[in-house]
Amino acid sequence: MRNIKIIDDITKDGQVTFGDGYAFVDDTAEADAILMRSTDLHGYDLPASIRAIARCGAGVNNIPIDDYAKRGVVVFNSPGANANAVKEIVLCMMVLSSRGVVQSMDWVRQNADDPDILTHAEHVKKAFVGRELKGKRVGVIGLGNVGSKVANACVYLGMDVYGYDPFISVEHAWELSRDVQRVGTLEDLCRGCDYLTLHVPSKADTVGMIGTDQLALLAPGAVLINFARETIVDEDAVDAALHEGRLSWFATDFATPKTVLMPNTFITTHSGAGTEEAEANCADMAISELKDYLENGNIAHSVNYPSCSMGKARAASRIACLHANVPNMIGQITAILAKDNANVQRMVNESAGENAYTMFDTDEHLESSTIDALKRISSMYRVRVIK
């Protein structure tokens, strides 16, 4: 039996199914793996029993992934599984910030007891006149799973779409409409935009990337949309731009002590991924990643270890080694196996950044002394006997 600790509400109805051979536990120290969403794990006391963590969602700035890698804990996310949900709410924010929808609905509610409300509505409606998205310039920062969908949708709405992503993947470049004009600098992207929407992860080079200088380049009365992370905008700069009317609206998914005090804001409760479909997609992807890792040692969509697959574990034994990406690890591993006279059927070694993963199948079970010797290799983080 494998034990799973669930942190956060993964789905609205609480339904999470791993199938036979799995149990849910309350005590993390009894768990083999964690299934989670947005809880901040920095400073969390992670027990040694945890071998893997799957984050239902895209952003992993809430998880100390480098530290966990060095403890032999593989962290997964679910790329793209909630991207459509975010795209839809971003489009919603574009419309809300352009058409006086919320203000006009508020007026109706406030005048609900007026018997002649139909006539009076005709008189006040000029106060809620807005502008159309068609023909307006939108800048999209980050053209990954969410940003590429937002950019393409804006093309279909007839907008003049510009995108900035120095690290765009080949897959997303292929998906992007040819009508999205890619620019090489953040400044060129911001210049003259009526709408600016952010779709980058929170990391060293994106924290505070939208500040006074970038906001100054936008068209007068532009709209800023942040459904990425609160850290990406300089909140003081945004507040000043709103007060001075340089920004007409700021739509954000992050209610912080500063954003809640700003004028002209649409603020949601980190609900960009809040659809039944996105929750189910994320849970399905995260659960299958965890199961394949726990049962077979295969890694897909990890954010701190390389992808690696040897299919189902069918040989007598399968061993996985999580270690630093340094010279002579394979040499040391095979030397230890040779001492045990172990016949390796198949071996795969993959690396990503500072970390590497070596997995092999053998004809017979290894001696426990052999496993101990593998664990003693310097820079070896964890050795798993999967089978």
Ligand X SMILES: NC(=O)C1=CN([C@@H]2O[C@H](COP(=O)(O)OP(=O)(O)OC[C@H]3O[C@@H](n4cnc5c(N)ncnc54)[C@H](O)[C@@H]3O)[C@@H](O)[C@H]2O)C=CC1
Query: Does residue 288 interact with ligand AKG by CB under 6 A?
Result: no
Q: How many residues does the chain have?
A: 387
Query: Does residue 57 interact with ligand AKG by CB under 6 A?
Result: yes
Contact between 212 and 233 (Cβ < 8 Å): no
Helix spans in the chain (H): 65-70, 83-99, 101-110, 117-124, 145-156, 170-175, 186-190, 212-217, 235-243, 276-296, 329-339, 368-375
Q: How far is the CB of 253 from ligand X (least distance, A)?
A: 4
What's the chain's Rg over C-alpha atoms? 25
Please select the residue that binds ligand AKG; options are 3, 16, 25, 59, rule is CB under 6 A: 59
Query: Does residue 273 interact with ligand AKG by CB under 6 A?
Result: yes
Task: Tokens 């006009």: give the residue.
Answer: 104
Query: Does residue 63 interact with ligand X by CB under 6 A?
Result: no
Please select the residue that binds ligand X; options are 73, 146, 303, 356, rule is CB under 6 A: 146
Stretch that binds ligand X, among 96-104, 195-203, 326-334, 355-363 (CB under 6 A): 195-203
Query: 3-state DSSP call for residue 75?
Result: strand
Closer CB to ligand X, residue 189 or residue 247? 189
Site for ligand AKG in 12-41 (CB under 6 A): 37-38
Task: Tokens 């700021």: give the residue.
Answer: 250
CA distance 3 to 279: 22
Query: Does residue 34 interact with ligand X by CB under 6 A?
Result: no
Query: Does residue 193 interact with ligand X by CB under 6 A?
Result: no
Q: What's the distance, CA 85 to chain centroid?
A: 13
Which positions from 70 to 109 touch ligand AKG by CB under 6 A, shown as an x/- string?
Answer: ------------x---------------------------
Which residues, in sequence order, are CB contacts of 153 under 8 Å at separation 6+?
Answer: 87, 91
Closer CB to ligand AKG, residue 2 or residue 270? 270
Please select the residue that binds ligand X; options are 32, 235, 239, 253, rule is CB under 6 A: 253
How are beta strands 265-267 and 74-76 bridged, if at all? Answer: unpaired
- In order, the DSSP letters of 98-145 are HH-HHHHHHHHHHTTT-TTHHHHHHHHGGGG----STT-EEEEE--SH
Stretch that binds ligand AKG, among 54-62, 205-213, 216-224, 303-311 (CB under 6 A): 54-62
Closer CB to ligand AKG, residue 56 or residue 143? 56
Footprint on this chain of ligand AKG (rule: CB under 6 A): 37-38, 56-59, 82, 270, 273
Footprint on this chain of ligand X (rule: CB under 6 A): 57-59, 79, 82-83, 86, 141-147, 164-169, 172, 199-202, 205-206, 227-229, 253, 270, 272-273
